[in-house]
Amino acid sequence: MRDLEQVGTYVQAHPLEWLPAPVLQLNERIIRVEEELKAQRELMKQGFDQMEKRFEQVDKRFDDFNRRFTGMMWLIGTGFVLLSTLMSLYAFFA
């Protein structure tokens, strides 16, 4: 029983010596893939932030256009009312 404990202690103290080389290579590849995924995640976050800023700019342009368009519609409507009134007065006094 004591021999098994010694063997267990030795194996726990030297785990890399007991792992086959392909397992170590896989571990290194996993670490590289995780680092690459982290870099990709950061790039995606930057892209989404830039898209959000662009959407805010487009929203601002639409708001500006909507304000101008509404003002123009009021002006055109007022012109039609004025023109209709003048035409009615002209027909009434003619």
pLDDT in tens, 31-53: 999 999 999 999 999 999 999 99
pLDDT band of 4, cuts 50, 70, 90: confident
Quick check: is 77 in a domain? yes
Quick check: is 5 in a domain? no
List of residues 6+ apart from 11 with CB closer than 8 A: 18
Span 64-91, mean pLDDT?
Answer: 92
pTM of the model: 0.48
- Report pLDDT for 56: 94
- 18 vs 6, which has greater pLDDT? 6
Q: Total structural domains in the chain?
A: 1
Quick check: is 4 in a domain? no
Quick check: is 1 in a domain? no
Quick check: is 34 in a domain? yes
CA–CA gap between residue 94 and residue 82 (Å, rounded): 18
